[in-house]
Chain A
Amino acid sequence: MSPADTLRFATRAALGYPLRTALMVLAMSIGVAAVVVLTALGDGARRYVINEFSALGTNLIIVLPGRTATGGLGLGNLITSTPRDLTVRDAEALLRAPLVTRIAPLSVGNSEIAYGGRLREAMAVGTSADYLAIRDFHMAQGQFLPREDLGRASAVAVLGATLRDELFGAEAAVGRMIRVGDRRLRVIGVLQKSGQALGMNTDELVFVPVATAQAMFNTNTLFRVIIEARSRDALTPAKRQLEDIMRGRREGELDVTLITQDAVLGTFDRILGALTLGVAGIAAISLAVAGILVMNVMLVAVTQRTGEIGLLKALGATGSNIRLAFLTEAALLSLAGAFTGLGLGHLGAWGLRLAFPILPAWPPDWAVFAGLGTALSTGILFGVMPARRAARLDPVQALAKR
């Protein structure tokens, strides 16, 4: 019996029982579709987070006050328990590191902002001129914070696009005086709309010089210092230079934490990657269940077609002819199920993307191959037993059965 004939015979057999075939294809396809949709969801989440972070720029180092436990139990950790303030002077010193191109200190707090009769809660961000370039923001009108001594509390402010609209409506904002907290500040610029990043809507912020913010919130310490290294490759050596500078300013003790985007990204990447894998694993279980279904369906097929098997043997079919025919049938059913499932899964992922446009819910390639592979191999694996049973049937008894 030629392979082409085996394939033809098995196809005819599969099509000869349409209801059974349809049910099995459905069961198998649900498993594969689950793998595709769930991995699309997981990988979509992973890509979403990575995109969000990448929007911040990949060659950034963030310095925050205090030492996290990751530093281990060094001598410095034992001596001081409360960290010293991270000050504007520290930020200025950090700019002296050779591999650092820009820095922007951050002092953040909630404040009331008022213009005319309008009053609003808004988050005020105290920073410096370089923040614009670091975050790759663009001005809609006017200019960003002036380049000046970080200790100078100039009475100026830059508005996010939404905030501007809410306060000024159709009126021009640049040049007007607004009140932020207890200070009167002149609006010198408005940012272009940029949207969400890291859960903070930039369009609803008001930017002021860092010293102004510190005076407003009555604090000496900075929330963060954002530092831009020369390049992505310079991140690690730049980090070392920054640590050295900080140690020099703290009598050898390192009481700040330096975070690189790479590290944050790597962590998210790993967490969400593992999540995707786990979800894929759960979906794969449904494929194993489908495999058991294949086995049962094929066992029923063997029982149903006992007479036919007896006949084929009488006509001179060998055991391997029959085994191969049934195995091929199981493989065909799994294959049809796998591809139907792939189609359904892509449809589902498409639906996800429609429902959540921010989520890049594309199934990863490996998941597609894994889903197809698992479906095929379970189908064939679980098809072996019924096929062997068919091949072993006693022809006389098989023929006697009607």
Chain B
Amino acid sequence: MAQIELDGIERIFTLGDSQVHALHAVSVSIEAGEYVAVMGPSGSGKSTMLNLLGLLDHPNAGTYRLEGRDVTTLSPDEQAEVRRSRIGFVFQSFHLVPRLTAAENIALPLMLAGVNLAERAKRVARALKDFGLESRAGHRPDELSGGQRQRVAIARATIMRPAMILADEPTGNLDRATGQDVTALLEELNASGVTLIVVTHDPVMGSRARRQLLMEDGALVQDLNVARQAAPA
């Protein structure tokens, strides 16, 4: 049983009279611990797929099994619970809460999960140390550099020890060197066993992934598995 199984996923956006087929007949399965890059031109449906994988969006048709469970039929609260415990998001624009400090931003998922204050402080302190942010714990996002902000976001995404990290162009707002640092950080996490799915424009970053999914006009046109050199559709 694969960790993620998409089967015949359709996602259609209706804008007035016109319909946009953002995803069409997408079927793919991803094993736990894989490193997957989702690539393709702008508007090809990469973000839409990632949102579906993260249970932020619902398909119009098809099924999504996560760890063997059909999650498309879950109630909103059950889906929130899955997001909270199994999924970590990293966004292009960081999405830190501006009035909260780095430490408080990292603690948000723990707060939502109802983890007690003492345990929270312990885990946040460890995360700050792991991500080299100790000296920035009390700083607010506007006092941090782009790279530091993304590191805070990654620390936040991993604080609940999720099964997978979904990153939508995580280096899109960073310069090359900082972007490489962030990529290395994500790869380190993947090396420790977390599934990593990264949407990227950058062919260099994409080529580092062991598996590359190429999208075009809402369809999955290529599934390149570098490790096995095979392409199961």
Contact = CB atoms under 8 A, between A and B. Distances in A.
Interface of A: 1-2, 5, 9, 12-13, 15-16, 307-308, 310-321, 395-396, 399, 402
30 contacts: A1-B114, A2-B114, A5-B111, A15-B99, A16-B99, A307-B95, A308-B95, A313-B80, A314-B54, A314-B56, A314-B83, A314-B89, A315-B83, A315-B84, A315-B89, A315-B108, A315-B109, A316-B82, A316-B83, A316-B85, A317-B80, A318-B77, A319-B77, A321-B112, A395-B56, A396-B56, A396-B57, A399-B56, A399-B95, A402-B93
A258 B160 CA distance: 85
B96 to A, nearest CB: 8
Given A313-B80, A317-B80, 11 more contacts: A5-B111, A5-B114, A12-B99, A15-B99, A311-B95, A315-B84, A315-B112, A316-B80, A316-B84, A318-B77, A321-B112
Nearest to B91: A399
Nearest to B89: A314
B100 interface: yes
Contacts of B149: none
B56 A317 contact: no
A312 B57 CA distance: 15
A317 B91 contact: no
B24 interface: no
A317 B81 CA distance: 8
Nearest to A4: B117
Interface residues of B, number: 29
Interface string B101-141: 00000001101111000000000000000000000000000
A396 B82 CA distance: 16
A319 B76 contact: yes
B80 A9 contact: no
Contact of B113 (A312, A316, A320): A316
Given A311-B95, A313-B80, A317-B80, A396 B51 contact: yes
Interface string B64-87: 000000000000110011111101
A316 B109 contact: yes
A312 B84 CA distance: 10
Interface string B41-62: 0000000000100101100000
B40 to A, nearest CB: 18
A321 B81 CA distance: 12
Given A311-B95, A316-B85, A1 B111 contact: yes
Nearest to B82: A316
Nearest to A9: B111
B184 interface: no
A1 B100 CA distance: 17
A312 B112 contact: yes
Given A307-B95, A399-B91, A316 B56 contact: no
Most buried by B among A12, A308, A316: A316
B156 interface: yes
A315 B156 contact: yes
